[in-house]
Amino acid sequence: MITKAGVPSKKVIVGISSYGRSFHMAEPGYKEPMCQFTGSSTESDAAKGPYPDTRGCIASAEIRQILLDGQYPECIGYYVESYHDGPSNSDILVYNDEEWVAWMTDTTKSTRILWVKGLNFGGVSDWAVDLNIDYSDSGVGETENRDIILCHLIYKFASLNKLVIDTNKIRPRYKPIYTLYILNNILNK
């Protein structure tokens, strides 16, 4: 539309988002392209994330945390599903069987950037880059759910080697706690 209105494509900078648009599904579990959502055109019924604390918008950092927590459905009480939707070139996250989010992984962002370059636009801008940062591990802007923290600590690692192998399953701040549990078990044998 912009270029058809006469604006040279080289003067257009396209925004690439670091957040997802979220919706609350009217029929839990129904994830087809024409599924219905609750709320209105001005107010979303989607669950809020801790930051930006807005219904209908969830930060990429929070989405990654949901995906990480989804590795432990028995702890969080629901399953997490994610997939790439080819026709829209968007990533889809469904969690708690009724929350639906369209967002972009880093891979999808890369393909979108190449697409924008191919159209001879002026470039891209990461829209709201602060939403791509996980502040909870830095101690700034705590976004943790305490129940989930305690739940993660119920997992046992038989050895330090097993902890190293499975380290991608846990958040970095839990590694010292797990290390202490393992060392304590070794000393008590």
- For residue range 71-112, what is the model confidence (pLDDT) as tens digits? 877 777 788 999 998 888 899 999 988 999 999 998 999 999
One-letter amino acid at 178 equals Y
Q: CB of 103 within 8 A of CB of 91?
A: yes
Q: Where are the alpha helices (DSSP H) in 11-59?
A: none
Regarding whether 85 and 41 lie in a shared domain, the answer is yes
Q: What is the pLDDT of residues 136-173, one digit of tens each?
A: 543 333 344 433 444 445 567 778 888 887 777 676 76
Cα 20 to Cα 59: distance, rounded to the nearest angstrom: 6
- Is residue 46 within a helix (H) or strand (E), and if so which, with residue range? none
Share of the chain above pLDDT 90, in %: 37
How far is C-alpha 124 from the geometric centre of its chain's CA atoms?
21
Residue of 33 and 78 predicted with greater confidence: 78
Q: Where are the alpha helices (DSSP H) in 77-159?
A: 106-118, 146-152
Q: Is residue 69 included in any domain, yes or no?
A: yes
Regarding whether 171 and 114 lie in a shared domain, the answer is no
- Label residues 127-165 b or e (16+ Cβ within 10 Å = b): eeeebbbbebeeeeeebeeeebeebbeeeebeeeeebee
Look at residue 116 in the predicted model and tell me its pLDDT: 93
CATH code: domain of residue 44: 3.10.50.10
Average pLDDT over the chain, rounded to an integer: 81
Share of the chain above pLDDT 70, in %: 85
How far is C-alpha 161 from the geometric centre of its chain's CA atoms?
29
> Would strands 19-24 and 57-59 be described as parallel, antiparallel, or unpaired?
antiparallel
Q: Using alpha carbons only, give the angle 73, 74, 80 rounded to the nearest 5 degrees.
A: 10
Look at residue 135 in the predicted model and tell me its pLDDT: 56
Q: Where are the beta strands (DSSP E) in 8-119?
A: 13-17, 19-24, 57-59, 80-85, 90-95, 99-103
Its pTM stands at: 0.68
- Give the CA-trace dihedral at 132, 135, 140, 144, to 10 degrees: 140
Look at residue 140 in the predicted model and tell me its pLDDT: 31
Task: Tell me the average pLDDT across 27-43.
Answer: 84
Look at residue 154 in the predicted model and tell me its pLDDT: 53
Under the banding of pLDDT at 50, 70 and 90, the label for residue 39 is very high
Cα 170 to Cα 153: distance, rounded to the nearest angstrom: 9
Regarding whether 108 and 169 lie in a shared domain, the answer is no
Structural domain total, the chain: 2
Regarding whether 54 and 24 lie in a shared domain, the answer is yes
Regarding whether 174 and 129 lie in a shared domain, the answer is no
Lowest mean pLDDT among 31-40, 112-121, 130-139: 130-139
Domain that holds residue 171: 155-187
Regarding whether 110 and 85 lie in a shared domain, the answer is yes
